[in-house]
Structures are given as structure tokens and as C-alpha cells.
Amino acid sequence: MSIQQVSSFAAGQWITPGAGARNIASAITGDVIAAAGNDALDVQSMLDHARSVGGPALRALTFHDRARMLKALAGHLNQHKQALYEASFDTGATQNDHIIDVDGGIGTMFVFASKGRREMPDGQVYLDGDVEQLSRHGTFLGQHICTPLQGVAVHINAFNFPVWGMLEKLAPTLLAGVPAIVKPATNSCYVTELAVRLMLDSGILPLGALQLVSGGLGNMLDHLGMMDVVSFTGSANTALKLRSNPVILENSVRFVAEQDSLNGSILGPDATPGTPEFDLFIKEVSREMTTKAGQKCTAVRRIIAPDAQVEAVIEALSARLAKTTIGDPRLDSTRMGALVSNSQKRDVLEKAVIIGQEATRVYGDPDNFAVDGADANKGAFVPPMLFHCADPDNAQRVHDTEAFGPVSTVMGYRDVDHAVELVNKGQGSLVASVITHDPEVARQVALGAGAYHGRLYFNNRDSMKESTGHGSPLPHMVHGGPGRAGGGEELGGVRGVMHYMQRTAIQGSPDILSAIGQTWVPGGTEIKGPAHPFTRNFGELAIGETLHSPSRIVTLQDIETFANFTGDTFYAHMDDDAAKRNPFFPGRVAHGYLLLSFAAGLFVEPNEGPVLANTGLDNLRFMKPVSAGDSIKVRLTVKKKTPRNDEYGEVRWHVTLTNQDDEQVAEYELLTMNAF
């Protein structure tokens, strides 16, 4: 059998393994199938290439350009995912495991592409929060902006998810406008190399945006500077070693760590045998123990159940685990494959012995189990192993020792406070789950355990049909955790993009802020257009273009007609004496929504034109009541423009209503879709 030479991609060139190459064995057979690594990689050249070629090319694009790039990459990988499936079997993963890794990674990239288009501007500056009033008359303002770091992101990934682990970091990095150097774990780097080749061969990425190190990084971290980022996934010990690099400390290099943790799952006191919640709990824990052969940073390591239900949990879980067919992952009948390597197998068995010092193994014998279609001694196979800790309060190893495989420990709790105390003994976890139908139990756990966990997952009969599972990090939600879990955050939508950007406070006049953020700021220069703005298409409208309407008097008849027509006869509009007793009103006042209707009548252009639809309004505030006899007028300003496709774009209008004394009575942002 030929041995695959897993290459690196450095400074635009593929480089085959050389001196220092390491052999990679199949998790199924133990035979050498590949080699990776080259001590001659010029790491400084790689960093320079990313900073001088990849970075400028990415930063020249807008967020929407980068989002479209991500969407195209995800689509290209989706067309070739079968090849990624086939390459992944030798990691010990089953077809279902591939779907989590490959499809999950592609799906994550699609989500970031969507969020980039929907939640970020079609520009190069991201506005973080509202404008801050720093002066009495609004001529000196402040705002926070985010711009791409002008360095390189070094991604150091774990072996368990060679595709998802890369793409969940790569998507927000590229969306931010920062080039990446990806270093996958050597044991499964041949899968990552294929994914990188597919992306590079597509021609979608700018030159220098993505490089790959198959094998060791060498001294690359010694060459990082203040504009660079290290994003790491792996063990706490390795993370500590890397983040302690003197250069990283001296240059304040950002270090984002997502570490393995002793995640727990709590069975609520209401979830007794026979309830949907009890059955759900058994199903979830069993799945988390066996998916990817337990090699998930989010897998359930501690099973926390009411004292009265411990035996029932052990019995039900053992029965379910007994149905797990272990074998060659290529077989359709296999439900759990192998660990990634025999060295990982040795590590898991050693950690299981340590856990066994404080807990009794109640299911699974690593010396006596069946493997279908493969040799249990040659391959990296282990059975699911369930332990029971009778004294979790005085135990230590079950709360600080992780066997990174299909190993978990059951322990009992007295009450919910005790369950919270036990789950927090992990000293920081990526996720804890609670299976309960009692909202008060969920609230108690959230208040007591939230600070110790990056994610809390609640599930019960109401949500279980659509829930995604305890161990599934979602691109929309933060993935990370405090303490032992690394103290970092990944994913989380646009939050994840911010790891690769610098937040900067800017201060200046409204025109200065408007120019930097490409978003009109109240108080900025108003532009008078050549015609009514609703007659001008998307491309013709300019930021700051403003319409001032004539005024309209609001009469008592208007107020009463609106009240009777809509049914809104709230006393403040209909009863003068009652309204006067309200400290907010001088007497009967106009409905807020009446004012909005009148405002639309004052600024709308009724004829057919480029305005296709009114899609909503944001940030509505009523500042001063309007009484019968008062007049109102409208200022309508183009605040922001966002293309949506080749046919139309979204226009955000800043709308201000003022009375006869030029006092502001209402303010909001109108959204319309305008044709190009």
C-alpha cells in the first residue's frame, strides 16, 4: 500500500514532507498510511506572505464581498464532500461522524456567510454600538469601530474534527479580513489537507489568504507580533505551553483557547423513570459518549443524577450502550468506530485507570469487547466505559481527569444546589446540559452554574424534537468557556469575527463619524437631492441626502377619528381629565402611531417608482407629546445603504418628527427596499 505524502502549502507553494516527517497510522488497522511534516518550512516567509499579500487583498474587500467568498467556498466544498468522507474513515470516524465534521463545517461557513451579508455592512468598517453624545450641542461625538487586524491568524486545531475544526475558525477569520495559517493535528491532517486543496483549487480565495502547515509549526510562534492572533483547540497543558511563549506575552499577541473540559449533564429532579425527560437524558448521554468515539471537547464526562435515580440511570444507560456496535467505521452496521490512534487509545485507558481510583466501572471492559470487521488489538478501539462515583463531594479525579474517549462517570446529588456545586467542580466547562421540564430548576442552574460554563443547554419534551444536542456547538452561539475550558470564545456569529478585529474608539464631529462609518450621523451635513428621494434609485441616493417636509396641524378631530377607526381609545387620547392626571401628558394627546401615519403622509411619494417595499422600522422613540393644535413636520435622511442582490438594496432612513417649536417629538429609522 502506498503511503500518502501530506504536503504543506506555504507562500503559494505546495511542499512535500521532508526531514522531520512523521508517520501516520490508520486508526482501524494500525498500518502506516501517510507521512507529514517538514523541518525546512520557512515560517518567516509564510508570515510575510500572509501579511503582505493575503492581508491587503482581503482588506480591500468589503464584508459583503468576503461573505460571498465564504458562501462560494462552502458551496464548492459541498460539491466535493464525498471525497472528504472517504478520506476520513481512517481517522476511525463513522459516516455519521463525517456528517458532523464535514457537513457541520460547511454549514458553519454558510452561516457566517449569511451573517456577514445580513448583520455586517457592505463596507470595511464595522460599527460597534451607538453614537455617544460627548458634548452638549452634539458637535463632538464618539463611537466605536472595528477594523481588521493587519497581521495573520495562526490556527492550531485538534485531531477530532479535521474539517469542522478548521472551518469554524477560518470562516470568521476570513470574514474579518485576516489571512490564516492553518495547522491541523498531525494524526488527521490528511483530511484537512484535502479540504485545503479543494478550497485553493477553486480559485475563490485571494492569494495569501490561506496557508497550511502539515506537521509541526517549528518556531513560527516566535515570529508573531501585536497584529497577529493564535487560535488554539486542544488540551489545557498544550494551551498553557503555547500561551506562555515569551514572544506572545511580550507582544500581547491575542490567544484564543478552546480547551477540553469536564462537561456535565444534570438530570432534573422531576425527570423520573417513565417521563419523556428521563428517556431523553439516557439518549443524549449515550450519544455523547459514543459519537466520534467520545472524542469531542463537548462530550458528557460527568453524569449528575438525583441520588434516588442513580441506579435507574446506570441500568438504562448500560442497556443502551450495550446496543452500540463497535467496528470498522466503513461498515453500515458500525455505530462507534475507533479512537484516532493507538497512542490516544493508551492515553484513554491510562486516564480510565485514574478515574477508577475514585469510581467503580459499571459498564464496559477494555479487555473483553467485540469489534466487527477489524482487529481490536491492532486498531485503536475501546468500548464505552461507564463509571459510578459514590462520593463525588470528596472525589477529585472525576472532576479534573478527562479520558478523551467514550468514558463517563455517574454521580448522585441531593438537591439542585448540590447538583450545581458538583457541575461547577469541573472548574470551567464548555457546556453543561440540564434535562428538566421544570423552569424553576432551569433558572436555579442558570444562576448557579452560568459563570462556570460557556454554554448551558436545556432540553425537555417541548424542545427535544428540534434541539441540536448537548455536544453540538452552533455557529450562531458562543463556543468556549472559562477556567479549564480555556477562557476563550469562538463562533457566536459576529462575536466570533471580533477576535480578528481591533475595536477603536473614534471621536469627532458628526461629519467625521459619518465619513468613517459610511453611516449618516444626526448633526451631520444634509445633502439636498435633485428630486424627491423616493423617485431616485438605490445607486443614485447619497448618504446624508435629506428631505424636509411641510408641516401639518394635528386636530382634535384627527385624534378622535384615529381612535374610533383603530379601536385605540386609551384614556390619554379620549379623556382630558384623566390624561391631565398622568404626569407624562398635559391633557388629551395624539396617538404615537397617528403621528407615524401623518409622517408617512408628509414624506411619501405616492407614484410608482424605485421604492419597492417598506420592510419595517427600528429604534422608535416618542420624546414629547403632541396635543390638538400642534403641528408636526418631518426630516427624512438617507442614513445607510446596503445592497441585497443585483436587483435591489436596503435603504435605512433616519426620520425625525418635530413640532411647531422645532422640538423633537419622535424619531425612528425606516427601512425600504429600493431598486437599483
Backbone φ and ψ of 218, nearest 5°: 65, -135
CA distance 333 to 106: 26
Please state, in angstroms and rounded to a whole number, the distance separating the CA atoms of residues 577 and 586: 10
CB 10 within 8 A of CB 50: no
- Dist CA 442 CA 457 (whole Å): 10
Reference 277, options 508, 69, 442, 37; nearest CA is: 442
In SS3 terms, 325-348 reads as: CEECCCCCCCCECCCCCHHHHHHH
From edge to edge, which strands make up the β-sheet containing 22-25?
A: 4-6, 32-36, 22-25
CA atoms within 13 A of residue 87's CA, in its CB half-sphere: 22
132-133 and 141-148 as β-strands: parallel, antiparallel, unpaired? antiparallel
- Which strand (E) or helix (H) includes residue 503? strand 501-508
User: Is the distance from CB of 346 to CB of 308 less than 8 angstroms?
Assistant: no
Phi, psi for 210 (deg, rounded to 5): -140, 130
Count Cβ atoms within 10 A of the Cβ of residue 140 and give its class: 0-12 exposed, 13-18 middle, 19 or more buried. middle
The Cα–Cα gap between 251 and 452 comes to 29
Closest CA to 476 of 459, 506, 496: 496
231 near 486, Cβ under 8 Å?
A: no
Helix %, strand %, coil % of the chain (to 5): 35, 25, 40
- Kindly name the residue from 168, 258, 277, 288 that is annotated as catalytic: 258
- Which position among 297, 489, 490, 545 bears the catalytic label? 297
Quick count: other Cβ atoms within 10 Å of Cβ 356? 15
Residue labelled with grid coordinates 498531525: 186
667 is catalytic: no
Measured between alpha carbons, how far is 42 from 10 in angstroms, rounded to an integer?
8
421 is catalytic: no
Compute the distance between CA of residue 520 and CA of residue 534 in angstroms, rounded to an integer: 18
List beta partners, residue 545. Answer: 527
Burial of 526 per CB tally in 10 Å (0-12, 13-18, 19+): middle
The DSSP secondary structure of 618-676, one letter per residue, reads EEEEE-S---TT-EEEEEEEEEEEEE-SSSEEEEEEEEEEEETTS-EEEEEEEEEEEE-
DSSP 370-402: --BSS-TTTTT----EEEEES-TTT--HHHH--
Instruction: Specify burial of residue 274 (Cβ count, 10 A radius: 0-12, 13-18, 19+).
Output: exposed
H or E element at residue 458: strand 456-459
Instruction: Answer for the pair 441, 416: CB distance below 8 angstroms, yes or no.
Output: yes
| Residues taking part in catalysis | 258, 297
